[in-house]
Amino acid sequence: MKSEGVGAGRINRAGGVASALRFVGAFLEEPLTVGAFWPSSEELSRAVVDSCVFPPWGIVVELGPGTGSFTSLLLERLEDRGRLLALEINPTNLAVLRLRLPRCAAIHDSAENLDRYVGRGRADCVVSGLAWGNMLPATQDRIMNAIVRALSPGGQFVAFAYAHARYYPTTLRFRKLMFREFARVETSPIIWRNLPPAYVYRCWR
């Protein structure tokens, strides 16, 4: 039994490394779209998902899920009645996500087109893995408008940003957008055990 456990651990680690390498490949292909060169750490993933408030039967939307660092944890919190939609624009990441987590409704589309999949005021929580600091202002506006339309009254938006880019003009603009669109905005302490270190935004309508 012990040898089977070790073997399973090796398989899981090998799968994790392969997934991470595919993530790196996606970043090299489209650095402005993918935005990060390595998947989010377990610490950041937990911090993001623990920041989310939604009922286990709710509707949750994930934007830019990558290979599923947040997705698997979100699914754990949703009962069979709950629904998780994930919009991913990169086909490499999308293929990994669909293989790893078939229970998630993974959609190959831009976050700008959220309206096509979620009715107005239907989402309990929108979770973002997007590279907001890499976006042009017009793109930030289009995606934020789609998020606001999708969220239910009192719904929540959760996102993260990298500590080293905290004062980039595009990051500061994203922060202003959140304070403009949401009644309440909170920022977590820096999660140092991530590459690169990051922090989490928690916003409520």
Domain region containing 18? 2-204
Cα–Cα–Cα angle for 147, 163, 87, nearest 5°? 30
How confident is the model at residue 80, as a pLDDT?
Answer: 86
Task: Give the SS3 label for residue 11.
Answer: helix
How confident is the model at residue 57, as a pLDDT?
Answer: 95
Residue 100 and residue 200: Cα distance in Å, rounded?
A: 25
Residue type, 36: A
Whether pLDDT at 27 is above 50? no
Whether pLDDT at 115 is above 70? yes
In this structure, which long-range contacts are made by residues 138-142, counting pairs with CB atoms below 8 Å and at least 24 apart in sequence?
Answer: 139/112, 140/170, 140/173, 140/174, 140/177, 141/177, 142/112
- For 151-178, the pLDDT digits (tens) are 999 999 999 999 999 999 999 999 999 9
Count of the separate structural domains present in the chain: 1
Whether pLDDT at 54 is above 80? yes
Domain of 169, CATH number, reads: 3.40.50.150
Q: CB-based contacts of 64: which residues, under 8 Å, 6+ apart?
A: 35, 87, 88, 89, 111, 128, 129, 130, 131
Spatial CA neighbour of 160 closest among 77, 20, 51: 51
Provide the pLDDT confidence category of residue 202 given band limits of 50, 70 and 90: very high
How confident is the model at residue 7, as a pLDDT?
Answer: 39
What are 187's strand-pairing partners?
Answer: 201
Residue 119 and residue 103: Cα distance in Å, rounded?
A: 21
How confident is the model at residue 17, as a pLDDT?
Answer: 47
- For 116-140, the pLDDT digits (tens) are 999 999 999 999 999 999 999 999 9
Mean pLDDT of all residues in 139-158: 97
Whether pLDDT at 37 is above 50? no
